[in-house]
Amino acid sequence: MAELRLKSVRFRAEREADWLKLESLVGKAERGAAGLSDDELLAMPVLYRSALSSLSVARATSLDSALIDYLESLCTRAYFFVYGARTRPLERIAAFFATDWPAAAKAAWRETLVCISLTVLGAVAAYVLVMRDSDWFASFIPSGLAEGRGPDASTAALRATLFDTQHDQILSVLATFLFTHNTEVALMAFALGFAFCVPTACLMVINGCVLGAFLAVFFKHGLGVEVVGWLGIHGVTELFAVNLAGAAGFRIGWTLAFPGDRTRLEAVGAAGRQAAVLMGGVICMLFCAGLLEGVGRQIIQSTPLRYGIALSTGVLWVAYLYAPRGAQPARSRG
């Protein structure tokens, strides 16, 4: 025991100066990295690796536990400064909107196109079926929701739901259903993507069927232009968000099935992080869609203006997410 204590004392005496210097620099960094000089910033990684080496030796030679606990605490504190991200919350949020979200959307453009194609396929199939036989409508839209607005409704009644503010409560029920339905589809499409994309693909088709059946009823009564304008105010943002969520699910499921050169765990981990960023953007889009639906539906009664808003939102989202960006400056680690 005496020999062990002597080794511990010698070990500490030989290296303690570096530990104390590292502890001092970490303390200054924790109070604000701007207080460190350039020489101190360069010395920090060197001192950290030296302390880490000391910790390894202390563990291997079974030196006293107090010394090991001290070095573990010091190395942990230093690690978060040397390797951890030190951007402020507002800077991190700005980086998400400026680079992270658009980069994630660009990386998943193939999956997004697949989801859009599946949604269109479902919409066209349901539209054709309902146009040929109105009984198909009940297969896609819940009977309780369709009360008074199904294939048997009159043209005047359907037009009133699009323009007459006296029917605002009825329209609110329909709009709330569509928004809630799309939000649920978005979350489920992402969450179920791990099942090799199959549930996500099914959800995209089903969501398209709901849209196609709904449109068919109004087109049958000569209100196609009007209903597309009404839906477009918030629908462009809402459906785009759903397809991005589906793309996030596809990215995970496809990577799980075909990890490539990396191990499956590594590949899925990278895809999951990218998909999570994309879903953060989806939540923002759904929030914007809710605002557009809540405000635009009551205030904007002009069909051309509704189309203008729908077109504008589509162009803005595409430009924001997919427009080329210049090289981004490296983020400061201090």
Nearest to 122 by CA among 139, 106, 110: 139
Which pTM does this prediction carry? 0.72
Task: Give the count of domains, the chain.
Answer: 2
Average pLDDT, the chain: 84
Q: Is 131 exposed, middle or buried (0-12, 13-18, 19+ CB in 10 A)?
A: middle
Q: Does residue 132 share a domain with residue 18?
A: no
What are the Cα distances from residue 199, in Å, to 184, 203, 253?
Answer: 13, 6, 10
Specify the pLDDT at position 164. Answer: 65
The answer to whether residue 327 sits within a structural domain is no
In single-letter form, the type of residue at position 303 comes to T
The answer on 295 and 157 residing in a single domain is yes
Distance between CA atoms of 22 and 25, rounded to whole angstroms?
5
Whether 151 is covered by a domain: the verdict is yes
pLDDT in tens, 151-196: 888 888 888 878 865 555 555 655 666 677 788 889 999 999 989 8
Alpha-carbon distance 173 to 3, whole Å?
81
Here the tokens at position 206 are: 């089903």
Range scoring the smallest mean pLDDT among 50-64, 124-138, 267-281: 50-64
Q: 95 and 219 in contact (C-beta within 8 Å)?
A: no
Q: How confident is the model at residue 148 (pLDDT cuts 50, 70, 90)?
A: low
In a domain, 207, yes or no: yes
Last residue of a domain, one of 82, 107, 132: 82
Residue 331 counted as domain residue: no
Q: Is 28 part of any domain?
A: yes
Task: Label residue 205 left, alpha or beta by phi (over 0 means left) and psi (-120 to 50 means alpha).
Answer: alpha
**What number is the average pLDDT over the span 132-144?**
84
One-letter amino acid of 117:
S
Same-domain pairing of 250 and 131: yes
* pLDDT bucket at 91, cuts 50 / 70 / 90: confident
Q: Two tokens at 158?
A: 């359907």
Q: What is the pLDDT of residues 306-321, one digit of tens each?
A: 999 999 999 999 999 9
Tell me: do 111 and 156 sit in the same domain: yes
Residue 266 corresponds to which tokens in the numbers above? 């590594």
Assess whether 28 and 141 both reside in one domain. no
Among residues 28, 56, 82, which one ends one of the domains?
Answer: 82
Percent of the chain whose predicted confidence (pLDDT) is above 70: 84
Query: 104 and 68 in one domain?
Result: no
Domain boundary among 52, 82, 112: 82
Q: Is the pLDDT confidence value at 327 over 70?
A: no
The CA distance from 112 to 251, in Å, is 10
Residue 150 lies in a domain: yes
**268 assigned to some structural domain:** yes
Question: Residue 56 is part of which domain span?
Answer: 2-82
* 59 and 189 part of one domain: no
